[in-house]
Structure 1
Amino acid sequence: MRRLHYFDGLRGWAALVVVLHHLELTFAPELQGQKDAISPILGPFSFLADGPLAVAIFFILSGIVLSEGLKRTEVTNPVTGLTSLILKRWLRLSLPIIAAGILVLTLFALLGDRTVETGRLTGSGWIEDLFPPGYRPDLLEVLHEAILGAFIGPNTPLHDPVLWTIRVEFLGSILVFALCLFVRSGFARLAACALAGAALIATPAWLLNFCALFAISVAISDLRHLSTRDDQEEHYRMLRDITGLGMIFLATCVYPVLDLHLPVFMQRLGEIADPAGHLSQWTARSLLIVGGLILSRSAQDFLSRPPSLFLGRISFGLYLLHVPLLWSVGGSAYIAMSRHWPHWAAAVVASLLVLIGSGLAAAIFHRLVERPAIRIAAKASNLRLYALRRAS
């Protein structure tokens, strides 16, 4: 798994970008451009608050890491293996979601709903409309959403809006398991990934369009090993490194500038690449970033450093907890400070409180919730496999 450390680092920075995206939406909505994440003020640095791009990267990385894990797992019966892996994945995700839901209930009880007042003061329609009018979550509702609704429900759980990604994550994980367990041959699996990805992208449904990234990630996992040979000549390694960095730079910095100043050209380019219009710009850019990372040793070294790996470890907790802390702690702090301070000063201090509080909470969450959830999920999966073997 040493070679996958840089994927963990990228996931950590992507989680931080999602936090910055929601801070921008809440405290600086004027920075947001007409194209969701492309800010005319931030320009080439728009990727620093490009939440949709970060989420697309999450999906690709999840598929790659799951695929790599399955390569070291011996499964004799694909059907029983699939059911056990689904159980493991469900527990791995649902237990932390339950804990995050309990935090939401606690914050509502202590501070109440701060979203409407915060949104009116900052001019943010996003935070003002985060919850339905008069929304008050209860324990049974949160448990239902954490156990079932977040995975297969028709609507996003109300208590934590970032949970819309869990439906994609869960269905995409099942697709990865099926591709890896039922199609064992290399070339056959690449063909199956290509067909599944093309079919999902062609389908006019956003959920399935996102699931296509998981099929593509299985192919990336299989092809990744072609670029990790240690016997490459120095000039070839340098060429790969420059190419990879160029791909990352193109996806992060160049695209926002072109999309701002040459919108017609970029629109036509997108129509040529995807006539059906289901392949989003974030999908294409996320693939460029992950592909560039696989090629670039310099980017891998940066993302394998301790700060990046720390962010990677706490990334799921950071993703789950930052919105509850944003509307409660951040909103309450901004409301109090805005009575005496100018908007920008109150927004900066409130944002720092949310960033620091989310990081600390995510670190505690990783140790006390995530790690036990991983162990419980693994034991439950092993028990199911054992019971199925005994029954057969």
Structure 2
Amino acid sequence: MGRPDEGLLEAGDWQPAKSERPARSASPMLQALLQFVRPSFLSKASARPTKVRRTAYLDGLRGFAALMVYWGHHQLWAHEPQRADKILENTFGYDHQYYFVTLPGIRTFFAGGHYSVSTFFVISGYVLSAKPLSLIHADEHIGLGDNVASALFRRWIRLFLPLIVTTFLMIVSYHAFDVLPNFTPQRTFRAEIWHWYAEFKNFSFVFRGGGDPWLSYHFHSWSIPVEMKGSIIIYTATMAFSRCTHSARLWCEIGLIYYFLYIVDGGHFAMFMAGMMLSDLDLLAAADNLPRWMNRCKPYKSWIFGALFVISVLLGGCPAYSWNIQYLRDSPVWSHLAFLAPQAIFDYKWFYLFWAAVTLVASVPRIPPLKRFFESRFCQYLGRVSYAFYLFHGPIMWTLGDRLWIVVAQQQRSDIAKTVWFAELTCNAVFNPEIGIVTCEKPPLTLPIAAASTEAKCVGDLEHFQWSIGPHDARVAFGPAGPYAIFGSTSRHTCFGQWMQDFRTLVDWGRVDDADVAGGAKLWRPVDLQRLPPYGLVEKNWFPFWDFAGKMHMHWDVSPRRVFAEVANDGSVVGGDLAELTRVDDDKCMAKYLPQLAAGASESIHQATNSLSITMCKRADASCEPTVYNTFVMAIIQHKVFHDLHSVYEPYVVVFQQSAPFRLHAISSKPLWVHGRGTKGEKRPKKVPDNMPWVQTEMIYVTSMNWKQQGQRYHGYLDDVVLMGFGIEDERSGVIDVMAEDLLEGLGECDM
């Protein structure tokens, strides 16, 4: 019996009553924004189709490999101070170091970039040859010619046009919006465009025979010219082998692989050819036309491809820290495989990565769980954006991430009466271009420098120094082996001396291996530096420099004459005053370019900064090689004049040989001028009394200089950028970046 109300409503006509008060929802603009930034694989509209393409797993594999490239670059960049490359790109147990992340398989997720790029090349060989090979199998040779002609015509545009756009945007972002670049910028936008054009045309020329393999505007794009060359090889091979029988074509493909891998240094192109061969075999398998010996292995294919996948993961962890095969021979387990590397391959890792990538691409479609993973919405999304991801992840890291520096500054003295405590503060700092200042990310911490000697020889007016505790005027600078802090404090050799300590022991730098300080001073604790006598009661502004062989010397004085010598790791002096060897020539040069000091006047010439090594040619010049003849040491000295209760400093760059006898090479013919410095009568200091006329320039004194590029230590080139730190009126500090070539402009050479 039916219900009493049955039939009163027609089927499908009933709807729930609408609320008179509409449901609250996000604004249309917010919804549109969320929809715009939401990845497509999170969208309901992008549900996985019921049937995927035969090679969809390759798209997912390519996308996941691009993610691994980014993650590898991120790990290496973020942990650069800890020398992550030496840890992550070596094997578990290398040099008796046992890190969990270097275990086989685990390391792929932290340093699998080269493994992933090799996979790119194999996939490219597979995909580029898939259509031409299908036409060959169908005996459609006219269609084959049309297909290859069209693909080859479009290939350069598809590879290089996105890179042109990416690098152009990087150039514009610097010159128009002052976004910090990862490349060495030119002075003007016009000069930048010309430099970019000149470099890019050579970089993108398929048949170029020299120069750097990467683009200075985008280091990660080195693989794009390889893709172009590999594409030409694939298109040429498909045409050349198009009339061969199936067996003959397979043998020709094997022959080319052997040629690229064992006869010439063409490991990358062997990967392309291996991808083509895998594509050919898959087409033969679809037509049930595989070689008979392969058909006999079908019952065991699960075991075979499972084993190949394991082999791929293990070989994908090949040590990649250096092309020097000795690293491989010194690595546990890998030492037993080193003999397999062919003589033809210059960088051994590409041989092992060839087998890793080929076995990976071959095994993934035969292992159902892996194939399903790479056909998932997440991996398919990564595949769609893989090339854009590959191009943009570097610039994003460089512009948003490479803005971090370690800053060290003197803490202001406290208000406690008769305080004797001094300290240095340190923090990780970033540059804020909107307000033009460098600020600490977090509140600064006290630099943990131990209290100095209590045996200081302070007498008379300087007796108060005897009770001083802590460092004064610390400077941090790189040597060839690492960073050092140089600071003043009480000394057992005089009243107030100079000390030096490895900066990595004072901050959270990460593990420092012995190899990281090879050739440098291993100063784990503060070292009380010595000098050639006579000592002054207060010694300051010493700077160390390293010769071309890496030996450390200390430069104590520049006026009234140079004094320097080699020093040992314990701070003691080795030998005599080396400046005596060039005394006559050096005195003539300084008299020619530096101001003459007036008798009885309150003025002096003294050392100001640490030293850096510079090769007098440009890094971008392929013919530029550091030698003892073109590489020098540079430092900044200052002419100080004290007048009317105010000091004025004028900085000069001095350049001298980096090898014995360390003769002066050149001095600035006129003092440097820091942009923004107040000219005569401008920016009157608060400490100058109102009744005193103000006709002096602003007091700016240079304190330090280091290379701006993260990871760069002591040595640089003319087209590298220097960060120069300075103080302003003893009230605040500043920093300016300047091209080394500009810093050295106007040098006056010394007469030899």
TM-score by shorter chain over 0.5: yes
Q: CA contact under 8 A between 1:160 and 1:324: conserved in structure 2? A: yes
Map 1:162-177 to 2 at 5 A. Answer: 162-177=220-235
Does 2:133 align with 1:65? no
CA distance in 2, matches of 1:174, 1:93: 13
CA shift for structure 1 position 280: 2.4
CA–CA distance in 2 between the matches of 1:297 and 1:263?
34
- Equivalent-residue separation in structure 2 for 1:82 and 1:257 (angstroms): 36
Amino acid at match of 1:190: L
Shift of 1:322: 0.9
Letter of the structure 1 residue corresponding to residue 221 of structure 2: L
Q: Percent identity?
A: 23
- Does 2:111 match 1:9? no
Displacement of 1:81 in angstroms is: 6.0
Post-superposition offset of 1:267: 3.1
- Mark the CA change 1:341 to 1:56 in structure 2 (over 3 Å): closer, same or farther: farther
Partner SS state of residue 233, structure 2 = helix
* Aligned residue in 2 for 1:33: 86
8 Å Cα contact 1:12/1:315 also seen in 2: yes
Gaps of 5+ in 2: 1-51, 93-98, 289-296, 320-326, 405-427, 431-438, 445-506, 509-752
Q: Secondary structure at the match of 2:441?
A: coil
In the alignment, structure 1 segments of 5+ residues that lack a partner are: 116-130, 231-235, 345-392
Is 1:46 the counterpart of 2:104? The answer is: no
Instruction: Give the CA deviation at 1:82.
Output: 4.8
In 2: Cα distance, 1:213 partner to 1:283 partner: 6
Separation in 1 of the partners of 2:236 and 2:316? 34
Deviations 1:50-69, CA, capped at 9 Å, x for gaps? 11111000000001001112
Instruction: Tell whether the 8 Å contact from 1:101 to 1:146 is kept in structure 2 after alignment.
Output: no
Distance 1:341 1:70 in 2: 62
Kindly tell me: are residues 323 and 238 of structure 1, through their superposed partners in 2, closer, same or farther at Cα, counting changes over 3 Å?
farther
* Residue 150 (1) aligns with residue 204 (2): yes
Distance between the aligned counterparts of 1:261 and 1:320, measured in 2?
35
SS of 2:142's partner is coil
Within the alignment, does 1:178 sit opposite 2:240 as a pair? no
Q: 1:317 to 1:213 in 2, by over 3 A?
A: same
**Count of aligned residue pairs for this structure pair:** 322
The answer (yes or no) to whether the contact 1:38–1:50 under 8 Å persists in 2 is no
Amino acid at match of 2:393: H
Tell me, in whole angstroms, the C-alpha distance in 2 between the residues paired with 1:8 and 1:324.
24
Cα distance in 2, alignment partners of residues 81 and 148 from structure 1:
28
Question: Could you tell me which of 99, 106, 126 is aligned with 2:172?
Answer: 106
Cα distance change, pair 275–318 in 1 and its aligned pair in 2 (3 A):
same
Bigger helix share: 1
Range that drifts further, 283-292 or 35-44: 35-44
Aligned to 1:302: 373
Q: Secondary structure at the match of 1:32?
A: helix
Which entry has the higher C-alpha Rg, 1 or 2? 2
Larger displacement relative to structure 2 (42-51 or 70-79) = 70-79
Kindly indicate whether the alpha-carbon contact (under 8 Å) linking 2:160 and 2:224 is maintained by their aligned counterparts in 1.
no
- Letter aligned with residue 391 of structure 2: L
**Could you list the per-position Cα deviations for residues 275-310 of structure 1 after superposition, in whole angstroms to 9, with x for gaps in the alignment?**
555552222211221121132122111100110000
2:403 partner SS: helix
Q: Aligned Cα RMSD in Å?
A: 3.6
C-alpha distance in structure 2 between counterparts of 1:341 and 1:173, whole Å: 53
Is 1:319 aligned to 2:390, yes or no? Answer: yes
Instruction: Name the counterpart of 1:267.
Output: 335
Query: Measured at CA, do residues 273 and 305 of structure 1 come closer, stay the same or move farther in structure 2, by a change above 3 Å?
Result: same
Matches within 5 A, 1:88-237: 88-109=154-175, 110-113=177-180, 115=182, 131=183, 138-143=192-197, 145-146=199-200, 149-152=203-206, 153=208, 154=210, 155=212, 156-184=214-242, 185=244, 186-205=246-265, 208-225=266-283
SS at the partner of 2:402? helix
Residue 254 to residue 72, structure 1, CA distance change in 2 (3 Å): closer
Question: For the Cα contact (< 8 Å) 2:63–2:379, is it kept in 1?
Answer: yes
The alpha-carbon distance between structure 1 residues 157 and 114, as it changes in their structure 2 partners (threshold 3 A), is closer
Q: Distance in 1 between matches of 2:160 and 2:192?
A: 17
Q: Is the 8 A contact 1:97 1:146 kept in 2?
A: no
TM-superposed CA distance for 1:75, in Å, is 4.7
Alignment check: 8 A CA contact 1:203 1:209 kept: no
Return the alpha-carbon distance in structure 1 between the equivalents of residues 124 and 385 of structure 2: 15
Which residue of structure 1 aligns with residue 715 of structure 2?
A: none
8 A Cα contact 1:241 1:297, kept in partner = no
Confirm or deny: 8 A CA contact 2:57 2:365 kept in the other structure.
no
CA distance in 2, matches of 1:217, 1:257: 21
Change in Cα spacing, 1:140 to 1:75, as seen in structure 2 (3 Å) is: farther
Answer 1 or 2: higher relative contact order, Cα 8 Å, separation at least 6: 1
Contact 2:215/2:221, CA 8 A, preserved across alignment: yes
Shift of 1:174: 0.7
Determine helix, strand or coil for the equivalent of 2:55. Answer: helix
3-state DSSP class of the match of 1:157?
Answer: coil
- Opposite residue 64 of structure 1, the aligned amino acid is Y
